[in-house]
Amino acid sequence: MVRKLMLLFAVAALASLVALAQSSGKPKPGKPVAKEPAKEAPKPAGTEPAHKAVGPEKCKMCHKIQYDSWAGSKHAAQKEKVECETCHGNGADYVTMAVMKDEAKAKAAGLLMPGKEFCTAKCHHAAQWKDDMCQKVHAHKPKPASPKADSPVKGK
Ligand code: HEC
Ligand code: HEC
């Protein structure tokens, strides 16, 4: 009984060895050969921002309250305007409604919500920082009291 089993194993091992030898030798039929080179050459790193800017007019379509108050603010009056995207990140990849309405998706696509750290890193002196500056930065859409008073672009 034991001998019979061992013989069986030996035969099986031999068979798989033969199969291995056969398969490794020749190229596999039907395997695609390398085709045309990739269409776009990879861009050198560090030459472009991760996301493109779209400009504040694009944001205005959906965020008129924020836009109008921003347009009259000191941020908009700087020689180098501090625009929506200066603070919220370049918008090309998050401005579509499908992405914007999903906070997680929007953030993954580059949307930033700046806080003290962001604002004091390049622009404001930490010593002059006040915590209500973020609330005052522009007007905010009032929290909807009823489903009716929802986003101005509802249903789009
Ligand atoms: C097609 C409409 C649309 C456009 C264009 C758009 N947004 Fe939005 N955005 C929304 C909606 C909808 C929400 C989620 C609900 C809300 O806050 O009104 C939102 C939310 C936000 C929020 C709040 C995110 C949070 O975490 O609370 C910020 C900040 C924002 N948008 C910035 C921008 C900026 C900056 C631009 C321009 C680059 C822009 N949006 C363009 C529709 C839009
Ligand atoms: C100087 C930086 C700065 C600029 C410029 C700026 N934002 Fe904001 N934005 C903020 C901060 C900070 C908040 C969070 C406020 C808070 O703490 O509730 C915010 C919040 C928002 C929100 C969330 C909803 C709300 O109203 O609170 C939207 C939408 C938004 N901004 C859109 C815009 C748009 C559109 C522009 C350009 C027209 C813009 N922001 C320009 C800093 C900025």
Which amino acid is it at 66? Q
Classified as helix, coil or strand, 120 is helix
**CA distances in angstroms from 28 to 16, 35, 129, 155, listed in the order given:** 17, 17, 68, 55
Residue nearest to atom 11 of ligand 1 (CA): 101
Q: Is the pTM of this model over 0.85?
A: no
The pLDDT tens digits of the residues spanning 71-107 come to: 999 999 999 999 999 999 999 999 999 999 999 999 9
Atom of ligand 1 nearest to the CA of 85: 35
The pLDDT tens digits of the residues spanning 16-69 come to: 545 544 554 454 555 555 555 556 655 566 667 899 999 999 999 999 999 999
The pLDDT tens digits of the residues spanning 126-150 come to: 999 999 999 999 999 887 776 654 5
Identify which ligand lies nearest to the alpha carbon of 123.
2
Cβ-contact 111, 89 below 8 angstroms: yes
Cα–Cα distance for residue pair 131/2, rounded to 1 Å: 83
Enumerate the domain spans of the chain. 56-143
